[in-house]
Amino acid sequence: MITRRSFLQGVAAGATALAASRNSHAAQDGRSPNIIFILGDDVGYGDLGCYGARQVKTPNLDRIAREGMRFTDAHSTSAVCSPSRYSLLTGQYAWRNPAGDHILSGVEPLSIAPGTPTVPSLLRASGYRTGLVGKWHLGLGTQGEPVDYNKEVRPGPADVGFDYAFFYPATNDRVPCVYVEDRRVVGLDPNDPIRVSYGDKVGDDATGAEHPELLKMKSDVSHSKTIVNGISRIGYMSGGKAARWVDEDMADTFTSKAVGFIEGNKERPFFLYFAPHDIHEPMAPHARFRGTSGCGVRGDVLHELDWSVGTILDTLDRLKLADDTLILFSSDNGGAIKDTYDDGTNALHARQPPNGLLRGEKGLLYEGGHRVPLLARWPGRIPAGSTSGQLLGLVDMMATFAAAAGCKLEGAAGPDSFNMLPALLGAEPKKPLRDHLVLHTGGRGPLGLRRGPWKLITKRRDNDSDPELYNLEDDLAESRNLAKQHPDELKLLRALLKQAQDREHTRVL
């Protein structure tokens, strides 16, 4: 199994490992396209109007589909957030790297080793200005030396290719509940230092378990630690009072920072990784979105997310950058209706089925866990109103963006990433652009594999004694296990999965 050390042996450190060469996919005026990747959080396959949603309204996301392409067989690769984001930025299956294969806390070390080729480091080496706005959740600091949020936060996004970063460290239900800009916590009072713990309690801040009367939404036991803005979180935090976020303002804050990055880099090619907190729990939309969906706060935050996307689209129009920009939207995993938090509207959430008719939800190998919306627009290059059934994973974004920007992957960079640009440009090949895709739950959990219409689901990584086999062409809802009826197909998929695990890469290096 590949480790961070062995992964780096095949490439030179940093950007020098990535050779840039112009090719025919660059923008027609000779300038490489701007690239904006918007990664929603916990947005399901059925949550958008262009994927069949009937309750919530997503006119801006639907606009991308109308003016570009909608993918129907795109996957987050992992069914939970941190490993999905790891795969997206590195082009490597997260299950290969124990540091990045699981959901990370707010005190775990950086899961991407500095020097690892990443999407931003590749594009920066080719002249792009690279920016991160929103959720990070890939760790900070080094093993054995937890990051001190009162000092410079390092290593972090700046050490894996981002020129600019405005982010929150983990999830919006985990401490610390602060923003970091580049290497410093925003608005921190040095006389009120931050302390963070995922073990013993620190400081004397009230917790949800001790003082439920202080909460503006109920929470379960695991989310009942330190209260910030009337919402209890996972983990303990003290200090940093002036730096703490207000949940209802997060969408405005992140969207404003994303717009600022675009405005500040309009004269040169840029890559923006915009990772909103919506629609992850706790769901606390701004008052102007509250009650607009009829589906409780879950539908309301979908409206808020759609507004953020619309603001980005409007900015591109205002700056006359739309034609020079490849913009994509997807989600880090499938959707779920959860009762972790309850502000009184949870009963309404089911009016909007997150994953449509798909089986399962976030965290599972069934389609509802990882089949995600993927929309792409590049005026004049991507056919408007088009649809693609090409099998792909978010792990493929590295090779795809490289092709769009005229970069060449060298050595072991992006070992599991395949170039999907031909599909984006409407040139559907006779053969699939990737033969198969390995699917992952999270951590050391079981793996699955897709090849053509066939899908293998294992129950345990080390003991595949009761596999499931589905033909998604005939049974997208995964209701009929065909493992016993098709032993030859089962044997083939098992062999492909073992081969992927035994090798350090799946694309030809």
pLDDT: which is higher, 75 or 16: 75
Question: Taking all residues of the chain, what is their mean pLDDT, rounded to a whole number?
Answer: 93
Find the DSSP H helices in 330-411: 367-370, 397-405
Distances (CA, A) of 495 to 64, 439, 446, 498: 39, 15, 15, 5
Architecture of domain 4-187+242-424: 3-Layer(aba) Sandwich (3.40)
Indicate the helix (H) or strand (E) that contains 260.
Answer: helix 250-264
What pLDDT is recorded for position 463? 66
Cα–Cα nearest to 61, from 43, 79, 34: 43
Cα–Cα nearest to 63, from 317, 270, 287, 257: 317
Architecture of domain 437-502: 2-Layer Sandwich (3.30)
Is residue 430 pLDDT above 70, yes or no?
Answer: yes
Amino acid occupying residue 453: P
Annotated domain spans of the chain: 4-187+242-424, 195-238, 437-502
Cα–Cα nearest to 505, from 416, 413, 417, 388: 416
What pLDDT is recorded for position 28? 45
| pLDDT, average across residues 274-281 | 98
Do strands 34-40 and 270-275 pair parallel, antiparallel, or not at all (unpaired)?
parallel
What pLDDT is recorded for position 24? 36
What is the band of 347 on the pLDDT scale with cuts at 50, 70, 90? very high
Is residue 269 pLDDT above 90, yes or no?
Answer: yes
Indicate the helix (H) or strand (E) that contains 470.
Answer: strand 468-471
- Is 282:226 a contact under the CB 8 Å cutoff? no
The conformation of residue 310, written as its DSSP 8-state character, comes to H
- Is 298:279 a contact under the CB 8 Å cutoff? yes
- Is 67:329 a contact under the CB 8 Å cutoff? no
Span 13-33, pLDDT tens digits: 333 333 333 333 444 456 799
Distance of alpha carbon 111 from alpha carbon 137, whole angstroms: 9
Query: Residues of the chain with pLDDT > 90: what percent?
Result: 89
Return the beta strands (E) in 358-411 as ranges: 374-377, 386-388, 392-393
Query: φ and ψ at 388, to 5 degrees?
Result: -125, 135
Distance of alpha carbon 164 from alpha carbon 161, whole angstroms: 9
Distance of alpha carbon 105 from alpha carbon 267, whole angstroms: 38
What pLDDT is recorded for position 465? 80
Spell out the residues 6+ positions from residue 334 whose beta carbon is closer than 8 angstroms to its own.
42, 44, 45, 76, 79, 354, 355, 358, 360, 361, 362, 364, 367, 368, 369, 370, 371, 372
Beta bridge partners of 196: 237
What pLDDT is recorded for position 4? 37
What pLDDT is recorded for position 509? 80
Query: Residues of the chain with pLDDT > 70: what percent?
Result: 94
pLDDT: which is higher, 1 or 320: 320
Distances (CA, A) of 242 to 170, 178, 186: 19, 9, 9
Instruction: Encode 53-88 in three state secondary structure.
Output: CCCCCCHHHHHHHHHCEEECCEECCECCHHHHHHHH
